[in-house]
Amino acid sequence: MLSFWEKNSFLDYDIVIVGSGILGLSTACEIKERFPKKDILVLERGIFPTGASTKNAGFLCFGSLTEILADIALKGEENAIKLVEKRWLGINLLKQRIDENKMGYLSYGGYELIDEKAGSAIEKIEYVNSLLQGIFGVNAFELRNEDIRKFGFNSDKIRSMVFSPFEAQIDTGLMMKTLIKYAQFLGIQIINGAEVKDFKKSQVIVKHQYMDEEVIFKAETVIACTNAFTRKLFPEMIVTPGRGQVIVIKPITGLKFKGIFHYDEGYYYFRNYGERVIFGGGRNLDFKGEETEEFAFNQSIIDDLVSKLESMILPGTNYEIEDMWTGIMGFTVDKLPDIKVTDNDVIAAISCNGMGIALSSYIAKEIVNFIS
């Protein structure tokens, strides 16, 4: 059973946030920066954040040309461009909160590889650039076909390449470690190994790992930033898990490219990490099968990544796979983040879809607006 001391000092807070991914931590930091006296607790089920934030590819991106065109078709010009703006604002807020050196920030820019199937997108560069003028002030995209061969890509498969100078890459692990340290520096308490099972008004219920009892944390304000896992706690929230699989290859001496690269409306993505290549995606090969919260591999997707690596990205280059992993994203129907106050007064914030590293610092501000 809990001791008198534990009950006296460990259970009462102004604000409890569930989930220590980038959104939960950014929200905690945003509140503490604005209201330094607030006593904030973050509860995390895993030994590390265990969803998407420490599993992603480390792109600071706002949407590739074909992805923006697909978004315009899905939700209209205004919503699609607003989302790009939020991602861009989020990237800049993240850079204000975390020093570039402390997240491995490198601004080599971003590229999209366009194959024959997507070729018509090239004719729409000017149209999309004009829509994005208000955000970037200059053209966001330009053709860079001359780099296809320079980077060693297979020019039989890749017909065009579109460059954006506004995209960058980070070291995801370093960024998250720095964000955790910054939150702790601000005085935010983080408890790991605390899986929240239920909520009552102003109460957050965790099953104690080693004792046969519930631990009930109390707070004026409760915020859930549990992304893909939200529907377990709030079935009324519509969020679908989507698994992402990633492989990393051992360093290649003289790797020919630097930057972040998108392919096929962003369903595939690769980048250099020094002289390594990190390559992920392929969820679109089996949308239904990848709607899972399981951190397992889908061999047919791994096989597809390997085949694209060999035939398109590193043709004729010897390489060795060093490691692979999976992470779980959360998707809303219209790909827009969603913040709701639930029946038991919890502010539930989902989900940054496939671009939460870019978006989270901005969405954290929107969450704080919900707090009276």
The helix (run of H) or strand (run of E) holding residue 4 is helix 4-9
Residue 6: C-alpha distances to residues 3, 38, 41 (Å)? 5, 20, 15
According to the binding rule CB under 6 A, does residue 329 interact with ligand FAD? yes
Q: Minimum Å distance from CB 304 to ligand FAD?
A: 15
Alpha helices (H) in 10-108, listed in sequence order: 22-34, 65-97
Q: Minimal distance in Å, beta carbon 126 to ligand FAD?
A: 26
Q: How far is the CB of 253 from ligand FAD (least distance, A)?
A: 25
Tell me the CA distances in angstroms from 332 to 33, 173, 300, 338, 351, one per residue in order. 29, 26, 25, 8, 7
Do the beta carbons of residue 16 and residue 220 sit within 8 Å? Answer: no
* Site residues (CB under 6 A) for ligand FAD, limited to 97-116: none
Residue 63 interacting with ligand FAD (CB under 6 A): no
Give the range of 15-23, 62-70, 128-136, 139-147 binding ligand FAD by CB under 6 A: 15-23
Q: In angstroms, rounded to a whole number, what is the distance separating the alpha carbons of residues 67 and 114?
A: 12
In this structure, are residues 105 and 170 in contact, taking their beta carbons and an 8 Å threshold? yes
The span of 14-22, 104-112, 131-139, 285-293 binding ligand FAD (CB under 6 A) equals 14-22
- Strand partners for 338: 350
Candidates 162, 168, 239, 357; binder of ligand FAD (CB under 6 A) is: 357
Q: Does 50 bind ligand FAD (CB under 6 A)?
A: yes
| Window 136-195: residues binding ligand FAD (CB under 6 A) | 195
Instruction: Based on the shown chain and the rule CB under 6 A, indicate whether residue 268 belongs to the binding site for ligand FAD.
Output: no
Site residues for ligand FAD, window 206-265 (CB under 6 A)?
Answer: 225-229, 233, 244, 246
Distance CA 100, CA 34 (A): 22
For position 19 contacting ligand FAD by CB under 6 A, the verdict is yes
- Between CA 148 and CA 280, with CA 111 as vertex, the angle to 5 degrees is 100
Binding site for ligand FAD (CB under 6 A): 18-24, 43-46, 49-53, 55-59, 195-196, 225-229, 233, 244, 246, 280, 327, 329, 351-352, 354-358, 360
